[in-house]
Chain A
Amino acid sequence: MSHDDIQHHVKTYIKVFMALMFFTLLTVYASYVDFDLAPELKAGAIFVGLFIATVKGTLVATQFMHLNNEKKIIYWVLGLTIVFFTVCLSIPVLWDSNLVGDTNFEQSPPKIEGGHH
């Protein structure tokens, strides 16, 4: 990479830094807003919060980690990883919606009869 390329990159790093500061403050502010979407689940807040985090993360990944201009092999490795990451994360969630009984968890203590179990 030539000297000018690097200088150009440096300018970008500063801009990205500013953007990340902005989004950080935005995400804190947004967490206090009541999005009123399935309030018990806080689904609205979760969606907004994760969306902003994804934007920030993408900035770090593409600009600081130079993923916007990487080689194919790296993209393949990461793509594969994201697929399995998604599987790992989503199965426990989907599991809970597809049980034979009511819940995975026994929330109230069972009644203990007599002296033995």
Chain B
Amino acid sequence: MSSQDHHEESFISKYIFSQDHKWIGIQYGITSLLFLLFGFALMMVMRWQLAYPDTVIPLVGWMFEDGMLSPDMYNSFGAMHGTIMIFLGVVPMVVGAFGNYLVPLQIGAPDMAFPKLNMASYWAYFIGGVVMFASFFMEGGAAASGWTMYPPLSVIAENGETVWLVGMIFLITSSLLGSMNIIVTIVQLRAEGLTWGRLPFFVWAQFVTSFLLVLAFPPLEAAGILQLMDRLVGTSFFLPSGLVVGGEVLNVSGGGSPLLWQHLFWFLAHPEVYVLVLPAMGVVAEIIANNTRKPLWGYNSLVFAVVWLGFMSFIVWAHHMFLTGMGQGMSVFFQTTTMIISIPSVIILSALFITLWGGKIRFNTPMLFALAFLPMFGIGGLTGLPLGLAPTDIHLHDTYYVIGHFHYVVAPGTIFAIFAGIYFWFPKITGKKLNEGLGKIHFFFSLIFINGVFMPMFIQGLAGVSRRLADGGVSYAHAAGVLQWNEFMSMSAWLLGLAQIPFIINFFMTIFKKVDGVADPNPWQSTTMEWTNTTSPPLGHGNFETAPVVHRGPYEYSIEGASEDFIPQTQK
């Protein structure tokens, strides 16, 4: 497929149904930022209900009956917050936006291997997003059975679970096509001289992530089909015999198993969490290498660890199911694999920490976010340990401790990495750096308030406060001692929302800023290939005038005898 169309492309084929990976990456980026904002807004409303139960919500209360969030609505918001953040926000951003935009550039390719498929992936994602968003306004409202959609509740519920399942089919299709494209691109379109050992770590991370998506999503698609059959056609894949609903035995054939859903769901959903994290680690690695002016420490260990992590992620899923009555053999197996999987994560984090030692660290905004990722992800990872061990999990499962744990890895973890990446690659895409002053304000306040939201969750979880409680734990005696944290966390959440305003202002201000002269194509003095061509590389013309040839590794910083403190990969 030619990326070298010299005739004039119409607006529609250039910007709407673009086949250029750079524009598709931007489409993914903008769409996912909007969904991240929406998911965040859902959470801010939920946190009002938790802080001040059964009071009228300010500003947006008029949208709800009685101005308050009913328990059913709360459940909808909770389920959709999770769904939207994961499937419409973070993954499309880290894989669809960052992956699409950067991978071909970093490997010296003219585009992705299959540009038409790339376009189809974006639009499938878009449609899935519209479907999910529209579910709020349909009869029955949005899905309300958690993002985990456990049957029997999800099957018998009269909310928007069916729409959720249909939306997921679009999203899964988008993901499969996209990740297949990335794998073929990395394998087949690497520039001459770009051996596997010279790939930027970001590309390795995307490579492993794409394998996770290709192999782990289909069982969830299968499960989604089965649940659709249960809801629409009346089958009993997940409905056990003799299920009693509202005092009466349900009129279905029975013979199904709710656990079947859990297996198929978590078979995807565990690798999915690594999909959330691995690209983020890739982003952080690139930014750390660049801003310490040193090569990454332990490149081979990093690659080995990320591949090992990807492989292990497929065999740990039942640590989400410790409380389902599994036998001791199963339990031991999954505890062991879960403990083992922490090793490669630690290897990666350690290598990144060690890279800092002796570096000439530049504390610009992307670096601040990247540095913060390390301890924040560390907290997330460490708090996962008691969850991965069954005896402690018995106490902590389904409590706020879990919510604290996973948010630490995704929110001050991955989302900080996303911000780091946006600040870092913004000048590549637009030719202008984001304002440092606003960036630092954004960073410091986000860091403070995000910890304010999630740290107290461990306290509440250890006290036994369950998750998904619309009243925030008010009706449980054992929660009484820790309920005061609800208001604190909600305040932190709203302040965290305010802390994003400098970023939004910065974003638009910089885009519309007029700049004289030609922008510096490599403002961070980086070694990797995406910085060798012009800023805002033109769409539809392949990426490089001539096919680049790689002569070096990806992190030749501060090499003795060199005239500058970095040597680009393509330099002889």
- Measuring CB to CB, which residues of chain A are less than 8 angstroms from any residue of chain B? 73, 80-81, 84, 87-88, 91-92, 94-95, 97-101, 104-110, 112, 115-117
Contact = CB atoms under 8 A, between A and B. Distances in A.
A13 B249 CA distance: 56
A84 B249 contact: no
A101 B325 contact: yes
Contacts of B187: 73
Interface in B232-275: 240-242, 244, 247, 249, 255, 257, 259-260, 263, 267
Contacts of A97: 327
B212 to A, nearest CB: 10
Given A84-B215, A110-B242, A116-B247, 16 more contacts: A84-B314, A87-B315, A88-B219, A91-B263, A95-B326, A98-B326, A99-B326, A99-B327, A100-B325, A100-B326, A100-B327, A106-B240, A108-B241, A109-B241, A109-B242, A117-B247
Contacts of A84: 215-216, 314
B318 interface: yes
B330 interface: yes
A95 B146 CA distance: 25
24 contacts: A80-B211, A81-B215, A84-B215, A84-B314, A88-B219, A91-B318, A95-B259, A95-B330, A97-B327, A98-B329, A98-B330, A99-B325, A106-B241, A106-B242, A108-B242, A109-B241, A109-B244, A109-B249, A110-B242, A112-B244, A115-B247, A116-B247, A117-B244, A117-B247
Tell me the interface secondary structure of chain A in the complex: loop
Interface residues on B, range: 20 to 34
B328 interface: yes
**CB-based closest 10 A-B pairs:** A98-B327, A109-B242, A100-B325, A98-B329, A98-B330, A84-B314, A99-B327, A104-B257, A84-B215, A106-B240
B314 A87 contact: yes
B158 to A, nearest CB: 19
B259 A104 contact: yes
Nearest to B248: A112
A18 B381 CA distance: 57
Contacts of B244: 109-110, 112, 117
A73 B327 CA distance: 38
A98 to B, nearest CB: 3
Interface string B192-215: 000000000000000000010001
Nearest to A97: B327
Contacts of A80: 211, 215
Interface string B322-350: 00011111100000000000000000000
Contacts of B219: 88
Nearest to B255: A105
B318 A98 contact: no
A87 B313 CA distance: 12
A38 B257 CA distance: 25
A112 B327 CA distance: 29
A106 B242 CA distance: 7
B235 to A, nearest CB: 15
Contacts of A115: 247
A92 B314 contact: no
A28 to B, nearest CB: 28
Contacts of A109: 241-242, 244, 249
B397 to A, nearest CB: 15
A30 to B, nearest CB: 28
A110 B243 CA distance: 8
B119 to A, nearest CB: 24
